[in-house]
Structure formats: C-alpha cells, structure tokens
Amino acid sequence: IANCYRQLIVLHLLACAIMFVFPENSYCEPVIQRTEVKGLSSMERDGFLDILKLEPGSLLDENAVRLGIKRAFEKGIFEDIRVDFEPESGHVEVSVTERLYVKKISVRGNHIVRRSFVKEHLGINRGDLYRPEMLDDCRIGLEKKLWEKGFPEATVDLTGEATSEPY
C-alpha cells in the first residue's frame, strides 16, 4: 500500500509538472518588432499605426487591430487596408489604398461654349470622390446638355489623371 501511495504521489507531481510546463492558456500574443506601411499619404504614419494598434514593441492583438481598421475606414479616406504579420520575425506590413478625390477640373479644346457651362453641367466637382467608372456618366450627361443647348454634334472626352496626393 505504501508503494501505491508513492506511485500516486509521483504521478500527481508529474501531472503538476506537466501542467506547469504546458499551462492550458499558454498562448501569448506575439510582439510587434517592426512595422512597414505602404501607400499612405493622407495622414501621419505614427497616427495611423496608433489607430490600428500596431506600434512596434506592443503585443499584436487581432481584435484591437480589427477595431482599428474599422476606425480608420470611418475617416472616409481609405478604399482598402490590409495587414500581414509574420510571427517568426514580428514584422507587420500594412498596405493601404486611399480613396481618390477630384483635385482639379480642366476644360480644353472648347472655343464656343463657356467653361462655366461645361463645369456646371459636368456632374463632378472639385473635392468629389473620384472613381474611373463615373467619367462615362459625366460624359453622357454633358453631351446631353450640349445637345439641348444646340450642339448635337458635340463630343466630350474625359480623362482622369492621378496625382501624387490622394486629395
């Protein structure tokens, strides 16, 4: 019987040692060593990383990052935000696509119709959110207005040109 107690005590100590070495909640969040941000120009890098909770030296908390991405989208200046993390190196790469806005409207090649008429009926204004697919709708709308004004042969050619700044 004493031998059985000894074996039970040894087994109990072994089980305690295993639980100590491999606790049930042994997962810990990885530490961010380095962050790289690509495509950001509308705001300061450090402020952006603060919103996303991705400062070097901090723990990577997926829920906090998810909430940070939602907060960043609420600013209305981002089209896409992607976060990639390499646990082995602690490297975080954030890729950002910012929304584009109309910065300038130029009217060229027009010698008959007032520029103000063209800009007024173009259907797009400085500061509007820019999407390439909107140009066709603007072109059709302006050609219709020119037809109504007595220029049925008028054609409109619209192009969008990217700038180095999103807005």
- Residues 97-142 pLDDT 10s: 988 888 888 777 777 888 888 888 888 888 888 887 888 888 899 9
Residue 165 has pLDDT above 50, yes or no: yes
Sequence-distant (6+) residues with CB within 8 A of 49 are 35, 37, 55, 94
Question: Residues with Cβ < 8 Å from 101, sequence gap 6 or more?
Answer: 127, 128, 129, 130, 166, 167
pLDDT at 24: 45
pLDDT at 36: 94
Q: Which amino acid is at 41?
A: S
d(CA 80, CA 116): 35
Residue 54 burial (CB < 10 Å; 0-12/13-18/19+)? buried
Euclidean distance between CA atoms 137 and 53, whole angstroms: 40
Taking alpha carbons only, the member of 87, 80, 100 closest to residue 38 is 80
| pLDDT at 22 (0 to 100) | 46
Task: Count other C-beta atoms under 10 Å from residue 120's C-beta.
Answer: 12
Sign of CA dihedral 157, 136, 130, 117: positive
Q: Which stretch of 4-18, 77-91, 111-125 has the lowest confidence by average pLDDT?
A: 4-18
Q: What is the pLDDT of residue 77?
A: 86
How far is it, in rounded angstroms, from Cα 83 to Cα 62? 10
Query: Tens of pLDDT along 20-72?
Result: 444 444 456 688 899 999 999 888 999 999 999 998 888 888 899 999 999 99
Statement: the pTM of the whole predicted model exceeds 0.75: no
pLDDT of residue 163: 62
